[in-house]
Amino acid sequence: MSQPELAVIVPTYNERENIRPLLDLLARALAGVNYEVVIVDDDSPDQTATFAWTQTTAHPNVRVIQRINRRGLSSACVEGMMSTSAPYIAVIDADMQHDESVLPKMLAKIKTEALDIVIGSRHVEGGGMGEFSKARVWLSNMGKALSRAVCRADLSDPMSGFFVLDRRFLMEVVRSLSATGFKILLDILATARRPVKIGEVGYTFRTRQFGASKLDIVVFIEYAQLLLDKALGGLIPASYVVFCFIGALGFGLHISIVRLMIASAGWSFGQAQWMAGFVVMTVNFLLNNQLTFRSQRLRGWSLLPGYAVFCLACLVGLYLNVAVAESVRAASVWWLWASLAGLVVGSVWNYGVTSLFVWNVARRRLLKAEKAREQSVQP
C-alpha cells in the first residue's frame, strides 16, 4: 500500500459492535481517497481489538494498535497519530455520532485553504446537536464556555472530537500535549504557541447506535484537569491541584468524624483522632487512585501495597507539616502563615512521594517520552 493521503484515527474502548458498520461507512464516504484507518484500542474487555483484526481482510487499509495497561482517549489519539506518516490526520469517534460523510469536505478545505486544522462543528451552518436532552446540550455549552479561557482560538465548537489536522502542525505541538482526558482538540489548540489557521465544517451530532455513553463524573474531572494544566502553563501539575483538593475534602471529613466520635460515641480526643486519620487516609487513597492518578490507577491486589506506602508517606508528610509549621511560627510569623507553610511542605511531599512510589507516574512519563521520541523519528 502506498503512503496514504489521510489517516483516520479511531480510539476505541468496548466498541466491538461499532467497528464493522463504521469501516463500511468510511469506505463509502472516502471512496476515491487514499486513506488508512488506525484503530487504537485500550485492551477492551469485549475484545474490540481482536475483532478489528478480523476486519483487515475485507478492509486491508485498516491497522490496529492494542494498548496494554494504558487508558485514555487523548493519549490513544496521540499514539495513533504518531504511528502514521500520512500528511493529513483525522480523528473520529467509533460510536458513529460523528458524520463521516463530511470528511472529504474537511480534507478538501484543509488542503485548498492551507489550514492547520479543520473542525467538525455542531454550532455553525449545517451543524446541530441532534436528538439530545437539554441537560446534555447545556453541559456541552458550559464546557465550550470554560474551554475558551485556555483555548486562545475563535471557534464555535472547541468541545468537538471530530477534526482533520495537518501533520506538520501536529509535530509543532505534540511534545507539549497533556494527553489527558478525552478532549484532544482542546489540548492541541491550547498547546499551540502561534495563531492557528482554523476552518470549520458543520455536521449534525448523531444519536449513539450501540454501546453506552462514557460520560461520567470522572470524564468531567479529567476535563477540569486538562483546563487547569493549560491555564497553569504546566508550571504546576494539574494532578497536584486535584490532589490538594481531595486533601481539603479529607480535612473536612476528619473534623466531622472527630466531632461525631466525641459527641455521639463518647470517645476520647485521641481515639477519635486515630479513627478519623485512618478513615481519611483510606478515603484519600481511593479517591486519588480513581481520580488524580486515574490513568495509572492500581487494581486488584496491587491496591494493598500501594495503600501501605500511601499511609506511610502521609505519616511522614504529617511530621514534616508540623515540624515546618512550628519552625516558621518560632520565627514570630503569624500562625496562619505558619500553618499554610506546613501544609504546603506536607502536601508537596505527599504528592511527590506517592506519585513516584505508589502510582509510578515519573517512570510512566519517562517511558511515554521515550516512546514519543522513537515515533517522532519515523518518516
Cα distance between residue 259 and residue 252, in whole Å: 11
- Listing from the earlier edge strand, what are the strands of the sheet with 6-12? 62-66, 35-41, 6-12, 88-91, 163-166, 117-121, 198-202
User: Which 3 state secondary structure label does DSSP give 288?
Assistant: helix
213-236 pLDDT, tens per residue? 555 555 566 666 666 666 666 667
> Whose grid coordinates read 473520529?
92
Per-residue pLDDT, 371 = 52
167-212 pLDDT, tens per residue? 999 999 999 887 765 678 888 988 888 999 999 999 998 876 655 5
Cα distance between residue 187 and residue 176, in whole Å: 9
Q: How much of the chain is helix, strand and coil, in % rounded to 5?
A: 60, 10, 30
Per-residue pLDDT, 206 = 83
Per-residue pLDDT, 61 = 96
Cα distance between residue 289 and residue 299, in whole Å: 9
User: In sequence order, which residues have a C-beta less than 8 Å from that of residue 221 and are 6 or more positions away?
Assistant: 242, 291
Q: What's at 220, amino acid-wise?
A: F
Per-residue pLDDT, 13 = 92
Which residues are bridge partners to 38 per DSSP?
Answer: 9, 63
Per-residue pLDDT, 276 = 84
- 221: which 3 cell numbers? 474531572
CA-only gyration radius of the chain, Å: 24
User: In sequence order, which residues have a C-beta less than 8 Å from that of residue 327 and are 6 or more positions away?
Assistant: none
> Whose grid coordinates read 506519585?
355
User: Which 3 state secondary structure label does DSSP give 8?
Assistant: strand
Query: Bigger pLDDT: 15 or 363?
Result: 15
User: pTM (2 decimals)?
Assistant: 0.70
Superfamily of domain 6-232: Spore Coat Polysaccharide Biosynthesis Protein SpsA; Chain A (3.90.550.10)
**Is-contact 156 121, C-beta < 8 A?**
yes
- 81: which 3 cell numbers? 497519530
How do strand 62-66 and strand 163-166 relate by DSSP bridges? unpaired
